[in-house]
Amino acid sequence: DSGVTQTPKHLITATGQRVTLRCSPRSGDLSVYWYQQSLDQGLQFLIQYYNGEERAKGNILERFSAQQFPDLHSELNLSSLELGDSALYFCASSSQHYTQYFGPGTRLTVL
Amino acid sequence: GQQVMQIPQYQHVQEGEDFTTYCNSSTTLSNIQWYKQRPGGHPVFLIQLVKSGEVKKQKRLTFQFGEAKKNSSLHITATQTTDVGTYFCAGRDSGGYQKVTFGTGTKLQVIP
């Protein structure tokens, strides 16, 4: 158990819909990262937050947005969903030593 | 932007054979980390290398960081079925913000 929690574990929705994925980092970790992993693919970095502020942006679509709240949990919002958005979405957190601890992921299926 | 490539993309080995995956960055790195993702699981941190030419061992796993700090390798001696999974390297930029970029991953299958 990495100490990072993600909810929900599975999400099935339809095209055009909007969903929110939630992540709680390890206690004390200020950084939160979001990644997308399509079937048998690598980890596509989406975005990073540090202590509530956006720190780095990767290949995140304009339909996607994220935020980190004062209690350090983070949410990833995916809107106008398309079939191609079906993937595993991982959240990771890190401390000052930069090692990333990954949550169990949310599997999103868009029908 | 920084790119981190890994080869091979896939590797099938007979149990007991050795396995090596190579990681190459387009830019100089301040450090490199390795992660393992078991099938159906999430990436798990294995090790971090910081110094040029550094070599670290974890039981049957040997990790190397290149002299120029632009490449790294992971070697597994005498693979076991428990080694199955995808191995990712993750390189941290040496300048500025020090963004981390994950490699493309190497998927290892061990045939018993």
pLDDT at A97 over 70: no
Question: What local confidence, expressed as pLDDT, does residue A6 receive?
Answer: 98
> Worst-scoring range by mean pLDDT, A14-18, A38-42, B43-47?
A38-42
Residues pairing with A103 in the sheet: none
Q: At B99, is the secondary structure helix, strand, or coil?
A: coil
pLDDT at A93 over 80: yes
Tens digits of residue pLDDT in A29-87: 999 999 999 987 789 999 999 999 998 888 899 999 999 999 999 999 999 999 999 99
Categorize the per-residue pLDDT at B107 as very low, low, confident or very high, splitting at 50, 70 and 90. Answer: very high
CA–CA distance from A92 to each of A16, A89, B22, B59 (Å)? 27, 10, 24, 26
Question: What local confidence, expressed as pLDDT, does residue B62 receive?
Answer: 98
Residue A99 near residue A51 (C-beta atoms within 8 A): no
pLDDT at B95 over 90: no
DSSP letter string over chain A? --S-EEE-SEEEE-TT--EEEEEEPPTT--EEEEEEE-TT---EEEEEEETTEEEEE-S--TTEEEEE-TTS-EEEEE-S--GGG-EEEEEEEE-TT--EEE---EEEEE-
Q: What is the mean pLDDT of residues B98-110?
A: 89
Tokens of A24: 């709680």
CB contact under 8 A, B45 and A104: no
**Candidate from B88, B97, B98 with C-beta closest to A43:** B88
Tokens of A67: 């935020």
CB contact under 8 A, A45 and B104: no
pLDDT at A103 over 80: yes
Q: Please give, rounded to a whole number of angstroms, the shortest distance from the CA of B18 to a CA of chain A.
A: 23
End-to-end CA distance of chain B: 41
If one compares B99 and B31, the residue with the highest pLDDT of the two is: B31
CB contacts of A98 in chain B (<8 Å) are 31, 33, 48, 92, 98, 100
Percent of the residues in chain B that have a pLDDT greater than 90, as a whole number:
88
Tens digits of residue pLDDT in B46-74: 999 999 999 999 999 999 999 999 999 99
Question: What local confidence, expressed as pLDDT, does residue B94 receive?
Answer: 75
